[in-house]
A = this chain, B = another copy of it.
Amino acid sequence: MQTLQAYIHDCLQPYNQATLHISDLSIQRGYGIFDFFKVQQGQPMFLDDYLKRFYESARQMELPVPLDTTELKEVIRQLIQANQLPLSGIKMILTGGYSESGYDIGKPNLIITEQPLTLPDQTIVTNGLKVITHSHVRELPEVKTINYTMGIRLLSNIKAAGAADMLYQQNGIVSEFPRCNFFIVTRDDVVVTPDKNVLSGITRKNVLQLARQKYKTEERAVTIADIAQAKEAFLTSTTKRILPIVQVDDLVIGNGKPGEITNELLADLIALEQTQL
Contacts and interface: CB of A to CB of B under 8 A. Distances in A.
A115 B23 CA distance: 12
Contacts of A152: 25, 29, 31, 96, 103-105
Contacts of A27: 20, 24, 26-27, 32, 93, 95, 111, 146
> Does more than half of chain A's interface fall in helix, strand or loop, or is it mixed?
mixed
A149 B30 contact: yes
Q: How many copies does the complex hold?
A: 2
Interface in A194-209: none
A27 B104 CA distance: 17
Nearest to A155: B104
A220 interface: no
A42 interface: no
Nearest to A111: B22
A231 B103 CA distance: 32
Interface string A25-48: 111111110000000000000000
Contact of A146 (B6, B8, B30): B30
Interface in A97-134: 102-105, 111, 113, 115
Interface string A64-108: 000000000000000000000000000101011000001111000
22 contacts: A15-B22, A19-B19, A19-B20, A19-B22, A20-B20, A20-B22, A22-B111, A24-B27, A25-B152, A27-B93, A29-B147, A30-B146, A31-B148, A31-B149, A60-B153, A62-B153, A91-B102, A96-B152, A103-B152, A103-B155, A136-B139, A140-B150
